[in-house]
A = this chain, B = another copy of it.
Amino acid sequence: MPNPTAAMLVIGDEILSGRTRDANMHYLAGQLTEMGIDLKEVRVVSDDREAIITSVQALSANYAHVFTSGGIGPTHDDITADCIAAAFGVHIDVRADARALLQAHYDRSGLELNAARLRMARIPDGAELIDNPVSTAPGFSLGNVHVMAGVPSVFTAMVASVLPKLTGGAPLLSRTLRLFKAEGDIAGPLGAFADAYPDLSVGSYPFQKDGIYGSNIVVRGSDPERLDMAMANLEAQFPA
């Protein structure tokens, strides 16, 4: 059975302007690979209602899971929850369970649960809350879309809350052969090798070190014995 597929939607002007370097994509990619969910596409869009709605609808229709990052805080530019509700055509308002979480949190911290903070309790009808052990304000899952915060520490914690609930596939394993040969010198036999193992993914990633050209050959697949066999074959073709 093929692995479940996934896409990610990163939401935020600060990524597209170059102010902030996104960290969540790389983190989520590694986590999904470990549990056998194949991340097939990532989109980054600005804090724009139409862009978010259109992207969520397209990705939700095409992949088993969609993970979003960003735009669920208390300020005016945090519009993700409302956009997700609109994308699914469901009602959204402050919800009692989310409000209770925030009320308890702010009571403990001696801060006021004001109108701005209450925005973080806006949850679309039918969504399931995602636990946020870092700063309480929850994410949520609606249909196959999992909505999480953009702050990396919170995103990481929410990913840890969500992934155990999902069914993974066979984890994608990878083996790397580091060759001190230029890609152009190995591309012919490497292409033949890739053709001989159509069930494995074979990638070549060039590097340059101390003026020497090299290539990391990465072979990916879910069957460890098959990978071992392929790597033995590869090493025999390109002895150190």
Contacts and interface: CB of A to CB of B under 8 A. Distances in A.
Contact of A18 (B26, B51, B187, B195): B26
Contact of A75 (B15, B120, B190, B201): B190
Contact of A17 (B10, B39, B51, B208): B39
A176 B32 CA distance: 35
A188 B74 CA distance: 9
Contacts of A195: 76
A73 interface: yes
Contacts of A13: 201, 203, 220
A111 interface: yes
Interface stretch (A40-48, A82-90, A161-169): A40-48
Contacts of A26: 15, 18, 21-22
A25 B151 CA distance: 19
A116 B187 contact: yes
B44 A42 contact: yes
Interface string A27-71: 111111100000111111111000100000000000000000000
A116 B183 contact: yes
A60 B15 CA distance: 21
Main secondary structure of the interface of A (DSSP, over half): mixed
A187 B75 CA distance: 5
B76 A17 contact: no
A189 to B, nearest CB: 9
A194 B30 CA distance: 37
A151 to B, nearest CB: 6
A77 B40 contact: no
Contact of A41 (B22, B39, B51, B115): B51
B111 A182 contact: yes
Given A74-B184, A184-B116, A42 B43 contact: yes
Across the A-B interface, the 5 shortest Cβ-Cβ residue pairs: A116-B187, A18-B30, A18-B29, A76-B191, A42-B44
Interface of A: 10, 13-22, 25-33, 39-47, 51, 73-77, 111, 114-117, 119-120, 151, 153, 172, 174, 182-188, 190-191, 194-195, 201-206, 208, 215, 218, 220
Given A15-B26, A42-B43, A119-B187, 8 more contacts: A17-B39, A18-B26, A18-B28, A22-B25, A41-B43, A75-B204, A116-B183, A120-B184
